[in-house]
């Protein structure tokens, strides 16, 4: 599947949904303005989302991405739900969101947990520019699964590299601590400035940098 050189506007749930075992998709050189989310990934394989440009997410209102019940809303311009394998998100320019589109790129729990066998494996976020979201530029969330904090990004083979995150309302990059996942992730060569809480925030624990689970 190839989605390229399209102009999306006013789609209040999402401009693109890549779900239900989509394989070998290439989503490139598209623009999004005044959409809810740009793209939602759930259960995809060997997919690339690159060289896309989007702004003003949620500006004209947001509709549920899944009707429910209860209805489920996207929480980011680029939403990574559970069950993705070999997903590359690179060289995209994402600017300005309005709640509930709080984050630029989110490994999120809103569409379910990423526990085995639906974990996110080998996911790479490279050379993206993300600015002016009310929440975080890039976030890997966690939630309680059977009372155990569980993350959304399986670390070995995944990395967050070369991104520029600026002027976001909370953190530039936020890795939430979890007993499972959200660890062993290299965060290299990123530029972060002007974010209102932390430029980089990692609440994991382990043998990585400064006692976190990541480097």
User: Is 115 a residue whose pLDDT tops 80?
Assistant: no
How far is the C-alpha of 131 from the C-alpha of 209, rounded, in Å?
25
Q: Whole-number mean pLDDT of the chain? A: 94
pLDDT of residue 76: 98
Using a pLDDT cut of 90, give the percent of the chain over it: 84
Residues whose CB is less than 8 angstroms from the CB of residue 146 and which lie 6 or more positions away in sequence, other chains included: none
pLDDT of residue 147: 80
Query: Exposed (0-12), middle (13-18) or buried (19+): which is 5, by Cβ within 10 Å?
Result: exposed
pLDDT of residue 8: 98
How far is the C-alpha of 7 from the C-alpha of 181, rounded, in Å?
36
Average pLDDT of the residues in 92-98:
98
Average pLDDT of the residues in 25-35:
97
Check the CA dihedral 95-3-19-23 and report its sign. Answer: negative
* Distances from the Cα of 52 to the Cα of 43, 48, 95, 165, angstroms: 21, 11, 11, 16
* Distances from the Cα of 182 to the Cα of 13, 81, 174, angstroms: 27, 14, 10
Using a pLDDT cut of 70, give the percent of the chain over it: 100
How far is the C-alpha of 163 from the C-alpha of 122, rounded, in Å?
17
pLDDT of residue 20: 80
Whether the Cβ atoms of residue 89 and residue 49 lie closer than 8 Å to each other:
yes
Q: Write phi, then psi, for 41 (nearest 5 degrees).
A: -110, 120
Question: In angstroms, how far is CA 2 from the centroid of its own chain?
Answer: 21
pLDDT of residue 23: 86
pTM of this structure: 0.96
Whether the Cβ atoms of residue 118 and residue 154 lie closer than 8 Å to each other:
no
* DSSP 8-state class, residue 75: -
Tokens of 93: 């320019």
CB-CB neighbours of 96 under 10 Å: 19
* Position 129 confidence tier, pLDDT thresholds 50, 70, 90: very high
Average pLDDT of the residues in 12-30:
92
pLDDT of residue 67: 86
Per-residue pLDDT tens over the stretch 142-198: 988 878 888 999 988 999 999 999 999 999 999 999 888 999 999 999 999 999 999
* Position 204 confidence tier, pLDDT thresholds 50, 70, 90: very high
* Position 49 confidence tier, pLDDT thresholds 50, 70, 90: very high
Tokens of 10: 């006013």
Whether the Cβ atoms of residue 138 and residue 124 lie closer than 8 Å to each other:
no
């Amino acid at each position: 599947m190839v989605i390229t050189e399209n102009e999306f506007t006013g789609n209040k749930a999402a401009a693109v949904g890549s779900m239900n075992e989509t394989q070998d998709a290439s989503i490139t050189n598209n623009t999004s303005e005044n959409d809810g989310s740009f793209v939602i990934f759930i259960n995809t394989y060997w997919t690339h989302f690159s060289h896309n440009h989007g702004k003003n997410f949620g500006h004209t209102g947001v509709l549920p991405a899944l009707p429910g019940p209860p209805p489920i809303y996207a929480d980011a311009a680029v939403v990574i739900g559970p069950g993705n394998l070999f997903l590359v998100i690179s060289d995209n320019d994402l600017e300005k969101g309005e709640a509930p589109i709080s984050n630029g790129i989110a490994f999120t729990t809103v569409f379910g947990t990423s526990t085995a066998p639906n974990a996110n494996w080998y996911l790479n976020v490279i050379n993206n520019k993300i600015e002016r979201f009310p929440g975080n530029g890039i976030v890997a969330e966690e939630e309680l699964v059977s009372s155990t904090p569980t993350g959304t990004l399986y670390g070995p083979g995944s990395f967050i590299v070369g991104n520029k995150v600026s002027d976001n309302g909370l953190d530039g990059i936020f890795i939430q601590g979890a007993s499972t996942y959200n660890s062993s992730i290299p965060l290299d060569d990123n530029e972060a400035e002007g974010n209102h809480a932390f430029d980089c925030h990692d609440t994991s624990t382990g043998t990585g940098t400064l006692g976190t689970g990541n480097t």
